[in-house]
Structure 1
């Protein structure tokens, strides 16, 4: 069983609403499959000021409806100070460190 799942929301260049639907479906599927963490790839946005998908994903992760599913989440730029906490829940995330650390186009979701 894979304890970490990657969820690429950039594939196909969807709009933010489609990406959010994929996020919710992907998180539920990962949980059903026994994953402890999901590395969400949403990109940073072509404008260089933060894409709408990244903003929509992170806003969605804070919604009450996901409280039963999401333990906590953080962006790749917070890896250095959230690493210990994340690895205490899912040691397998260590294999993804190079892709996560400092990456504004990635959000890590720790599942309940």
Structure 2
């Protein structure tokens, strides 16, 4: 008797929203477009690179895009988003996601408290 243990592998897309030094509005439009596109492509998650700001005091893109992501969760557009500082095994949401998709434990940003990224889960 053969038991198949196949499961869907995680498909994660990385999008650099800092590229080209966009305004907050431009980055927001691109984020929404890329999230819609990633969902249509069957992605499990998207890693957004928004940066932390050149001053080191918290970039405007990071703050404003994460506000938009919170609204997207409330609307039901995305399941959850994990801010870069929460992208660690000791975070309960991250851990639940990694249990479903253990291959993502190899992500180079995992556990690095990278304030310049956000992980969006569909």
Q: Normalising by the residue count of structure 2, what TM-score does the alignment of the two structures yield?
A: 0.80
Superposed counterparts of 1:27-46, under 5 Å: 27-46=35-54
After TM superposition, list the pairs within 5 Å mapping 1:1-112 onto structure 2. Answer: 3-64=11-72, 67-80=75-88, 81=91, 82-96=93-107, 98-101=108-111, 102-111=113-122
CA-based RMSD of the aligned residues comes to 2.0
Which has the greater radius of gyration? Answer: 2
Cα deviations by residue, 1:61-82 (Å, 9 ceiling, x for unpaired): 1115873321001111112213
Q: What does the per-residue CA deviation read over 1:18-58, in whole Å, with 9 as the maximum and x for residues that have no partner?
A: 00001000000000000010000000001211111001110
Structure with greater proportional strand content: 1
Normalised TM-score (structure 1): 0.86
Secondary structure in structure 1 of the residue aligned to 2:82: strand
Which structure features the higher share of helix residues?
1
User: Aligned pair count?
Assistant: 110
- SS of aligned partner of 2:43: coil
Instruction: Give structure 1 stretches of 5+ with no counterpart.
Output: none
Q: How far apart are residue 89 of structure 1 and its match?
A: 4.5
